[in-house]
A and B are shown apart, each in its own frame.
Chain A
Amino acid sequence: MAVGRITRFNMTSLALGLAFLYLPIVILIIYSFNASRLVNVWGGWSLRWYHEFFGDRAMLDAAWMSLSVGAVSATLATLLGTLAAIGLARGERFRGRALFSGMLYSPLVMPEVISGLSLLLLFVALNAERGFWTVTIAHTTLTMCFVTVVVQSRLTSLDRSLEEAAMDLGCDPLRAFLLVTLPQIVTAIVAGWMLAFILSLDDVVIASFTTGPGSATLPIRIYSEVRLGVKPEINAICTLVIGLIAVIIVIASFASKLSSTRGESAAPF
């Protein structure tokens, strides 16, 4: 069996697969530099729509909203998700642990429409004013479990005796965690934060349920604009978002590679 041999068939199917995945995105990026007002007519290269975007107050507000919701919810999700991961990976076998870990992962499989609707009902019942904080909380509940998955898998691969050695050498349990365990998992935590940030930036469904007037996120703004017809400006915005996400993914994959080759990470202490 020649595994991994390059044949004409392999190359063709790879090319087709990649084209299927990336051709739409490539077309979108190319058309974002289109000088023409019409989306489907090529009018030469131009940065006109990028200028337009940076002059569009409402669109910029939505972008800022998305970035700040993403940053705040990713930070909250990372805090809570890391704590949950520590509890599940390190805590004593408490009663109902299996049920708890199962429930923690339910947002991974729950249809977003349902989570969005249930959160909306909760906020209505609590009489909470919908806006920045409701979207942020909703995104935190959505992304927390992703952080937990990433951090927990790193924690379980860690040698438990490292913490014991730290305690043996005079650390109380908290200091043992801060001085020995945290430096080993910090890259996983960073990767988890970035994942949470991207997920929050992506989301339309849950945000549209939980946001209020005047606090639309970028995807919601784009979605509502597109319903009135696609402007080339949308292409420009999407290209910027794709660029941002690509950068974050590259950083995150480097970080997780670093953490899997045993934390040579810069220890925060």
Chain B
Amino acid sequence: MIGSAGESGLTSVTAGEASAEAAKPLPEPIVSDMPLLRIEGVAKSFGNFRAVDRLSLDIRAGEFFALLGPSGCGKTTLLRLLAGFEAPDEGRILLGGNDIAQVLPHERPVNMMFQNYALFPHLSVRDNIAFGLKRAGMARADIKTRVAEMVALVKLEGLERRKPDQLSGGQRQRVALARSLARRPQVLLLDEPLAALDKKLRESTQAELMELQRRLGMTFIIVTHDQEEAMTMAGRIGVMDAGRLVQVATPRNLYEAPATRWIAEFVGDINLFNGQVVGREHSRLAVATSDAGTLAVSELWPPVTKEIVSVAIRPEKVKLSRRAPASDEGASHMINRLEGVVVDVNYLGGITTYKVKLESGALVRSSMANTARLDVDAYLAGQRVVAWFTADDCLVLEQ
């Protein structure tokens, strides 16, 4: 998998473990750091459309994992395969060592929170939450305690008798969460759980979900197209495109060390300069770009093998100044300076974003934090500036 580069040193699931498991023909008691959920070469097609393409992924117990990708990338199909609403064409889904790929949804120790919540409109809040418990044949008194516990957990006290259409969007979201948690599933699947909430509510709910997950020690798998949401909540993120996982990494590694050019552009904003490697010394590359001259770039691990590359730099790592930054001789070759004219200024409150047009005609985006209330640092459209960034902040991506 391509993604292994991004999470090097962070994943404990190694080849050694996998082969150790393969050597044991009989299922042993679950080892603590063995993955709770193992997806092995799972594929699913709808007609000629390959929604999930031989995908493999391990998820550990107690993990908060996010599946991130553009719409149509297969992330929701993968979630539905885990919930049992779709059966895979090939591959295995192991939960605690047992293959559940062909197990029907109602027999899986997995619950799902639906994007539109799917609350039963004819049942009250209490009956919605108790629904799964009744099906599990729980005793009446136990159901009562569990429902009360769940209602308290999602802070819905006093609304137990309401019907879903008498609740606000945020309250419905909580009922859906309580209902899916009530059966204490081994894995909770969340399909875009916050998409229908407004921004403020979404942010507070994100924090609550993380808190809940930590407190319950449950494994959460969330599907989202919102990268900020994924980065805020998840411990690891799997980025999907065209039915495949293109990278699995922590939020930081995903952002700072994207595995491919596609991910670099998908996650956050980025400036890209296409060019050719022309020199290499002391793990530093010189890349001749058509738009921005020759750029100095620190080489990352693994080393670049191809000659034609892209130099990528995040906007917040591009600084603007009126004159080229003064630098001592020793460090001067580590800084890239690009002269240009500010053509666009967007004040966004916390930060201001600039577009600088270089002599070549290419645009460089820069974003700078507004650390002072008065605009002493602001630049105006039409102003000549130097956009600069260090070699260490650059990424080299193969095209």
Contacts and interface: CB of A to CB of B under 8 A. Distances in A.
Interface stretch (B112-120, B236-244, B301-309, B373-381): B112-120
Interface residues of A, number: 23
B118 A167 contact: no
A166 B132 CA distance: 8
A39 interface: no
A239 B58 CA distance: 74
Interface in B136-157: 136
A262 B164 CA distance: 11
B122 A161 contact: no
A164 B183 contact: no
Nearest to B114: A161
Contacts of B120: 162, 165-166, 180
Given A159-B116, A166-B131, A172 B106 contact: yes
A168 B122 contact: no
Contacts of A161: 114-116, 118
Contacts of A176: 106
B104 interface: yes
B112 A168 contact: yes
Nearest to A183: B122
Which has the most chain A C-beta neighbours within 10 Å: B105, B123, B131? B105
A262 B118 contact: no
Nearest to B85: A164
Main secondary structure of the interface of A (DSSP, over half): helix
B135 interface: yes
Interface string B117-133: 01111110000000110
Which has the most chain A C-beta neighbours within 10 Å: B110, B112, B179? B112
Contacts of B112: 164-165, 168
A267 interface: yes
B380 to A, nearest CB: 50
Interface in A95-121: none
B101 interface: no
B122 A184 contact: yes
Interface of A: 159, 161-162, 164-172, 175-176, 179-180, 183-184, 262-265, 267
12 contacts: A161-B114, A164-B112, A164-B118, A167-B104, A168-B84, A168-B111, A169-B106, A170-B106, A170-B183, A171-B106, A262-B165, A265-B122
